[in-house]
A and B are shown apart, each in its own frame.
Chain A
């Protein structure tokens, strides 16, 4: 079965620290991968996505993610976090020919000023 797993449930960082959130997927063949973010009191919104081409994807607010096919991973990174990055981050994927998004359980990020 297709699945997406996120390893960290809650990450606490100080401002200016670097961030890396793990995401692994189990899909055969072509895969579309997404990172969504949910800021406190707001709805889910797209941070970035990968569907083909350059495996290093840049998103909004300085976030980026790298698709590593050999490791079945799509980790989210940011070199220097801000307090405003405090949110819950969800990795999601869909396989070729399937529009169904499968989400990971999410990672809560708390950034301490």
Chain B
């Protein structure tokens, strides 16, 4: 079974530039998550999709971050304009359903973003 795919793996940009990350979840997984992991901290949920609808985006900085999952499969996370504090690893995860007891989330390799 193929895992969660993410690209690019690394990205370096200057502040105020824009950047986009792509995620392809495990086939058949209805739920997709984007996390931000700042150095020295655990992952923090940014947004969660169930199929192509947003379930939770309460921690997404909506003035600069946006995400979409148009056909209920792939997803894109965008930052525009980027700030220095956005430097982090952006993780994508997927699960079969959301809210099921003890459901496991499967993580991709992440995209490491450096904002200069």
Contact = CB atoms under 8 A, between A and B. Distances in A.
Contacts of A26: none
Interface in B68-116: 91, 93, 95, 98-99, 101-110
Nearest to B93: A44
Contacts of B91: 43-44
- Classify the secondary structure of B's interface with A: loop
A45 B102 contact: no
Contacts, number: 58
Chain B interface: which size bin?
A: 20 to 34
14 contacts: A4-B42, A32-B101, A32-B103, A34-B104, A43-B107, A43-B109, A46-B106, A99-B31, A99-B56, A99-B99, A101-B33, A101-B105, A103-B42, A103-B44
Interface of B: 3-4, 31, 33, 40-45, 48, 55-56, 91, 93, 95, 98-99, 101-110
